[in-house]
Chain A
Amino acid sequence: MEHSVQEVSFHHEPEGDVVKKIIKTTIILSVITVIELGLGLTMYAFPMAAGLKLFIKGVIVILSLLKAFYIVGVFMHLGDEVKNLIMTIIVPLLLFIWFIAAFLWDGNSWKVLRNTYHPQAVEVHEGGEHH
């Protein structure tokens, strides 16, 4: 234990800077959350075209990724780690790009196929019965 700690070097930022950074990040996270809520409620309160709704949802997704960036980078201090360590965490997560695209595509294809070749399944469901 003693040995491994000696192998690791820490850098300390001045006290005031750390607290200032924490407060700044807290404000950023809160403001982004409020904006997200505002957008979510806008979609509910005003009827809008499907395309515009999809665009707003895209904006909310990007804002959430920004929140994730601040939590991981500042609160979890990943931004202060050695670059090699950052890469071993971030690079495997790139798998999510394929993961999300492939499976949402698959879900959509499932819907299109069912609506095209087995439309009665949809009608039964919307009639209020479920089997």
Chain B
Amino acid sequence: MATAGAQMETKWWSGGKSPFNVEYGKLMMWYFLMSDAFTFGAFLISYGTIRFSQNYWPDPNVVFNAFPFAGHANLPLAFVSLMTFILIVSSVTMVLAVHAGHKNDKAGVIKWMIWTIIGGIAFLSCQAWEWTHLITGDHAVLINGQIEEIGTTVTRNPWGPAANVAAHDGHHVGTTGPVAFGGYFFGITGFHGFHVFSGVVINIVMLLMTMNGVFERKGHYLMIEKAGLYWHFVDLVWVFVFLCFYLI
């Protein structure tokens, strides 16, 4: 930072200027995001506690191995990687929108906001597919000595340890796994998906305000910056959801 030397000599607390050198709304957005980080943190830590308390936990490479239009091909983590890249790219287009806002470049803000919104909708569509696949994808498991076909829901988990029975229609038969798996997966990815959804709504509102020239009249695009902070936070949370549910 070229201005670091000059900033150190500035007396931030002597009055006449904002001690944190930010606008009120932006500071409050930071504090909201900090509290939201604790909400997500509490969910993920509770998931960790339950997972540590279990003797068996499903391997994410086995659970998340499907890809749209790929049939029964075994592609562990491929689809979730695509989702991760979609979110990273939409975060980049958001930075570019904020950057265009710094230059009061209305056309640039509109262009990059549209790309960010498309990225958000693409991510939500992927998540909808993934959920549908998990809930409706039936797997043969041994329950009370009988083979049943069940999907992954908040009350049933077909991803348990292998059963002693060797095969069923050429497939390996498992037992039921810890019930908490579905509840935590759908609860936490759902809460994150809800954040993505509200982020998309906020971004659409920002896009409409930009198109109507609201920020042009105000003379600054600080609102885009605040919406951007929220959007990046959604990406940040996904880094940890991705880590906790899919990687480790």
Contact = CB atoms under 8 A, between A and B. Distances in A.
Interface of A: 1, 4-5, 7-13, 15, 18-19, 22, 26, 29-30, 33, 36-37, 39-41, 43-44, 57, 60-61, 64, 67-68, 71-72, 75-76, 80-82, 84-85, 88-89, 92-93, 95-96, 99-100, 103-104, 106-108, 110-111, 114-115, 122, 126-130
Given A80-B1, A103-B45, A104-B49, 20 more contacts: A8-B17, A13-B2, A19-B99, A41-B77, A43-B61, A44-B61, A60-B247, A61-B243, A71-B236, A75-B94, A75-B232, A82-B22, A89-B30, A92-B34, A103-B46, A103-B48, A107-B51, A110-B53, A128-B160, A129-B143
B18 A7 contact: yes
Nearest to A113: B53
Given A100-B45, A103-B45, A128 B175 contact: yes
B248 interface: yes
Interface string B58-87: 011110000000000000110001001100
Contacts of B30: 85, 89
Contact of A8 (B21, B42, B48, B143): B21
Interface residues of B, number: 79
A9 B18 CA distance: 9
A113 B50 CA distance: 14
Contacts of B76: 41, 44
B176 A130 contact: yes
Is chain B's binding surface mostly helix, strand, loop or mixed?
helix
A18 B100 CA distance: 11
A60 B243 CA distance: 8
B24 A4 contact: yes
Given A9-B17, A26-B88, A100-B48, A37 B77 contact: yes
B125 to A, nearest CB: 20
Contacts of B20: 81-82, 84-85, 88
A18 to B, nearest CB: 6
Interface of B: 1-3, 7, 12, 16-24, 27, 30-31, 34, 37-38, 41-42, 45-46, 48-56, 59-62, 76-77, 81, 84-85, 88-89, 91-92, 94-96, 99, 102-103, 141-145, 160-161, 163, 175-176, 179, 218, 220, 222, 228-229, 232-233, 235-236, 239-240, 242-243, 246-248
Task: Give me the 6 closest cross-chain CB pairs, A-B, nearest first.
Answer: A107-B52, A128-B175, A44-B61, A107-B49, A110-B53, A85-B20
Contacts, number: 174
Contacts of B59: 44
Nearest to A26: B92
B18 A11 contact: no
B95 A72 contact: no
A15 B99 CA distance: 9
A92 B144 CA distance: 49
Contacts of A103: 45-46, 48-49
Contacts of B144: 128-129
Given A19-B99, A92-B34, A40 B176 contact: no
A17 B16 CA distance: 31
Contacts of A1: 218
A36 B16 contact: no
